[in-house]
Amino acid sequence: MSLQASQSQSTWQRPDGNLVPNAAHVSATEIPAPTLTGELPVESEQVPPPAPPFTGGLQFWLIFVALMVSTFLSAIDFTSVATALPTIVEQLHGTEFAWVGSAYSLGSTAVMPLVGGLSQVFGRRPVVLGSLVFFALGSGICGGAKNMSMLIGGRTIQGMGGGAILAVTTIIVGDLVPLSKRGAYMGLISGVWAVASAIGPPVGGAFSESNWRWLFYLNLPLTAIAMVLVWRFLHLRVPHDDLRSKMRRMDWTGNIIIIAGTTISIIALTWAGVKYPWSSYKVLVPLILGLASIAVFLVYEAKFAVEPVVPWELLSNRNSFLGYSTVFLHGIVSTAILFYLPVYFQGTLLQSPVKSGVSIFGNAFTIAPGAIVSGVTVAVFGVYRPQNFLGWALTITGVGLLSLLKVGSPTGQWIGFQLIEGVGLGLLYSAPQFPILSSLPVNKSAHALALLTFVRSYSQTWGVTIGASILQNELKKKLPAVFLSMFPAEGVEIAYAAIPQIHGLQEPIKTEVRAAFSASLRVTWLTMIGVSALGLGCVLGMRELKMHEVTDEEWGMKEKNEKQMDVEKDGGKIQTSYSS
């Protein structure tokens, strides 16, 4: 007997013939979250009966290991390039420092909205495998790059693969684990991301002093391992339709609008404050067009899309909106810290790329545990507001302390300050998803999680851009004129161009340059305090809602007998059936 499901029905039939409720039509939220206007939804959601305790078997843990390996690949590549960047650009005789990082963000962010739809239509495993192929291809191109254009092209392809990996990984965990039990598992995934983000800088620094190309080539065997794990163990239910039906279900118009909007806006952000002033039409025109396109996308999704990439209910209730706002603000702050704290170590303390990567271990030893503790406490106590509140409180304190760092700051200070903000950032890696998902039905989880990873990736571009713009403008004010004259007035990111030159300077110019770096970064940290305060305000507006006890059965792990089932046809009409 085949396992058949209909989107119009609220039950589905197991292989044993029993009818059971389709969890895609049930939500565990007892009190519907209010809309942005403060009104309750028209239809309240039903509370399902208590679900049996979740226990992950061998297949689950093999799938989970595959997801962690894939996540590690994507995360470490994003952060490891920062410390190797001066060496890479110098050897390739380039000046476009910002584009090496922004190209990855561009590819990653642009593809994320598409991933949710693709995984819903074609299934999770093909999307994961395709993402890994793109990531490997981009890594190979970067490793063999002969010039900056080739490197930037490779980073864009890498970003497309890496972004899709992060998005579909989050979706798959949502398929397998109920929200109420998901905290510990998402804490582990967030911990892998946090560890990779933290050890990325020293890895990049080590390769920059030997052979930076292996920073990219090393991804190839690791990607192959991840692909084998995914191919062998990732077997989830897949609704089978003919290819034409699948293509019709895709929201191509919405995807084109959002990809165009994010691409244009990210290009503008990459240029802003570095290549061109913020007031230049070359920045303002694409930035306004990009943001306007994103606004048009949201209107189109709310009013016209048949199967929208971003269903309007994801943003129309207070809890989910504030949750997404928290993710966006956290992405700005965390990226600014991980990207520009090594600039302090190299520009002010005159550390080598390797040592600067080791010096940021204060974050490595706290972000990952913070992410895990956040997820575990949500699962144990069934609440999520305290974790979000504490995360922002510690982040504000820690970043405020970073603003005190100067040329002569002792080691204990820059390590201790990292420990405080690191715990805060770690708590916020996993905590914001719970207010988002608790206010939505489980059949919206894939779209909700795809949007979450999109928002996080897009915010990282803002974090890099805001930090770069502040650092660029402040260095122009504070660096000695004789040293500043060594660099073009526009088009060069002064920080990365200046760092290799500092060691050869004579006193007192050397000390003045080092002080200029610390004073310029202080303005960056003070700005991040303001961003963090906005995040804390978002938490104060959240409501504590009951979390789901069920998963969407449409996307669970396949049983043995399900793997043998084929797509059935009835009178020439293909019915939804779950098989390999």
Residue that has been written with the tokens 């990607």 in this structure? 223
CB 517 within 8 A of CB 348: yes
DSSP 101-116: HHHHHHHHHHHHHHHH
Which pair of tokens denotes residue 17?
């013939």
**Residues with Cβ < 8 Å from 309, sequence gap 6 or more?**
113, 114, 116, 117, 251, 254, 255, 258, 301, 447, 450
Same domain, 282 and 425: no
* Amino acid identity, position 385: R
Residue 341 CA to residue 80 CA, distance in Å, equals: 13
pLDDT at 55: 52
* Bridge partners for 577 per DSSP: 4
| Cα 106 to Cα 110, 260, 275, 572, distances in angstroms | 6, 11, 17, 43
Same domain, 286 and 360: no
* Bridge partners for 570 per DSSP: 573
Q: What angle do CA 188, 190, 196 make, to 5 degrees?
A: 100
**Residues with Cβ < 8 Å from 189, sequence gap 6 or more?**
67, 68, 71, 169, 170, 173, 430
The secondary element (H helix, E strand) that includes residue 205 is: helix 182-208
pLDDT at 553: 52
Residue 498 CA to residue 256 CA, distance in Å, equals: 40
Nearest Cα residue to 108 out of 253, 307, 266: 266
The parent domain of residue 286 ranges over 251-306
Nearest Cα residue to 190 out of 385, 420, 437, 368: 368
Residue 391 CA to residue 382 CA, distance in Å, equals: 17
Rounded to 5, what percent of the chain is helix, strand, coil?
A: 70, 5, 25
Same domain, 324 and 181: yes
* Amino acid identity, position 169: T
The total of structural domains in the chain comes to 2
CB 319 within 8 A of CB 436: yes
CB 331 within 8 A of CB 461: no
pLDDT digits (tens, 9 = 90+) for 82-103: 677 777 877 887 766 667 777 8
Same domain, 338 and 378: yes
Domain membership of residue 347 (yes or no) is: yes
pLDDT at 413: 92
Cis ω for the linkage preceding 308 (within 30 of 0)? no
Residue 571 CA to residue 312 CA, distance in Å, equals: 36
Q: What is the DSSP letter of 559?
A: P
Q: What angle do CA 184, 190, 193 make, to 5 degrees?
A: 150
Same domain, 122 and 236: yes
Domain membership of residue 9 (yes or no) is: no
Domain membership of residue 528 (yes or no) is: yes
Residue 569 CA to residue 574 CA, distance in Å, equals: 5
Residue 486 CA to residue 412 CA, distance in Å, equals: 35
Residue 63 CA to residue 128 CA, distance in Å, equals: 12
Residue 332 CA to residue 532 CA, distance in Å, equals: 9
CATH number of the domain enclosing 389: 1.20.1250.20
Sign (positive/negative) of CA torsion 154, 194, 473, 501?
A: negative
| H helix runs in 37-96, sequence order | 58-91
pLDDT at 138: 92
Domain membership of residue 569 (yes or no) is: no
Domain membership of residue 422 (yes or no) is: yes
Nearest Cα residue to 83 out of 336, 411, 459, 340: 340
Residue 250 CA to residue 306 CA, distance in Å, equals: 9
Same domain, 166 and 265: no
pLDDT at 573: 40
Q: How many CB atoms lie within 10 A of CB 303?
A: 9
Domain membership of residue 18 (yes or no) is: no
Same domain, 223 and 270: no
Domain membership of residue 406 (yes or no) is: yes
Q: Angle 58-91/97-122 helices, nearest 10 degrees?
A: 150
Same domain, 359 and 502: yes
Same domain, 433 and 497: yes
Among 306, 322, 342, the domain boundary falls at: 306
pLDDT at 514: 92
* Amino acid identity, position 338: L
Same domain, 297 and 435: no
Same domain, 260 and 339: no
Residue 430 CA to residue 387 CA, distance in Å, equals: 9
94 burial level (CB within 10 Å; 0-12, 13-18, 19+) = middle
pLDDT at 392: 96
Residue 80 CA to residue 83 CA, distance in Å, equals: 6
Mean pLDDT by 10 residues, the chain (580 residues): 40 40 42 49 42 61 81 76 75 72 79 77 83 92 88 89 83 77 74 73 75 85 86 72 70 86 86 79 91 91 80 84 94 90 90 82 83 85 92 96 92 92 90 86 76 85 86 87 76 74 86 92 95 95 77 50 43 38
Residue 385 CA to residue 374 CA, distance in Å, equals: 11
Domain membership of residue 261 (yes or no) is: yes
pLDDT at 51: 46
Which pair of tokens denotes residue 261?
């909007």
199 burial level (CB within 10 Å; 0-12, 13-18, 19+) = buried
pLDDT at 59: 75
Same domain, 260 and 298: yes
